[in-house]
Structure 1
Amino acid sequence: MDTMSVNAIADRSTASIAIARESTRGFLDGLPRPIGAGAADSVVLVVSELVTNALRHGGGTCTLDLHAHPDSIEVAVHDHSPEAPHVRTPDLTGATGGFGWPMVNRLARATAVTRPAEGGKTVSALLPR
């Protein structure tokens, strides 16, 4: 199993989200057994969505962990809020979103929300390789 940890994406800036996407691309490109372009794009999209939500709703900082398994890539984002993501009515005007969590669930084989002893939550998604 190949692992990578990107710690303390420190602020709510779009630069932090871009760094998370770039770090994810670097991780995927460095795997000894590469994954297809479509699968890589899905992983990057899920990372972007989960990090964006963590920074927007989870207290302004988060940690991204990526793990490569033989048949999947695991994305885990930890933030300081105990509130789990939830489905809400999408805003078709584009003002408040509502599309991300359903998209993550559609792209992933499985999603989970856990609450570690140190507080906050970890949102995980397992995507096909």
Structure 2
Amino acid sequence: MIVHSSEEEEEGHQPLQGTSPQSAGRARNVTRGFLSAVAARAGAETDAVLLVVSELVTNAVRHAGGVTRLHLAAGPGTVTVSVEDASTTAPRPRQTDAARPGGFGWHLVQELSADVRVSIGPRGKTVSAVLPLSH
């Protein structure tokens, strides 16, 4: 299930729902729709949000068997991206090598985000990243 959250949801509006994205491309499309709904201005901030979504979804698909939930929430001057999966293993940085693909995503997520948190529970984990976003 994909849940989009915004300040309107707190006022009683129902969240938008759909199927869980199992590709970074689908997750980016969903995120673009969310960003346009919260009136985010296109630019470097929205590009950073899309990149973080891509990396978190790709990591969940590649290392944790897939995404179980994507949650997007707009706050004052921020957007929070949360990706849930069924693995209880926390992400860890890999040694990067310019000659080999991969290993850069977790570093990018941490660099682009104001805050990154990993919550592990009995059914999997949630990785949440808070990014600045002008509305």
Q: TM-score, normalised by structure 2?
A: 0.81
Aligned-pair identity (%): 43
Gaps of 5+ in 1: 11-15
Aligned length: 121
Cα distance in 2 for partners of 1:116, 1:6 equals 24
SS in structure 1 opposite 2:88?
Answer: coil
Match for residue 8 of structure 1? 20
Gaps of 5+ in 2: 1-6, 9-14
Kindly state the Cα deviation for residue 17 of structure 1 after the two structures are TM-superposed.
1.6
Q: Does the 8 Å CA contact 2:40/2:46 hold for their aligned counterparts? A: no
C-alpha RMSD over aligned residues? 1.8
Change (3 A) 1:74 1:61: closer
Q: Does the 8 Å CA contact 2:80/2:129 hold for their aligned counterparts? A: yes
Q: TM-score, normalised by structure 1?
A: 0.84
Equivalent of residue 107 in structure 2, options 85, 102, 111: 102
Cα distance in 2 for partners of 1:94, 1:101 equals 16
Q: Does the 8 Å CA contact 2:88/2:121 hold for their aligned counterparts? A: no
- Detail structure 1 runs of 4+ shifted over 4 Å in the superposition: 2-7
Kindly state the Cα deviation for residue 85 of structure 1 after the two structures are TM-superposed.
0.8
AA partner of residue 63 (structure 1): R
AA partner of residue 125 (structure 1): A
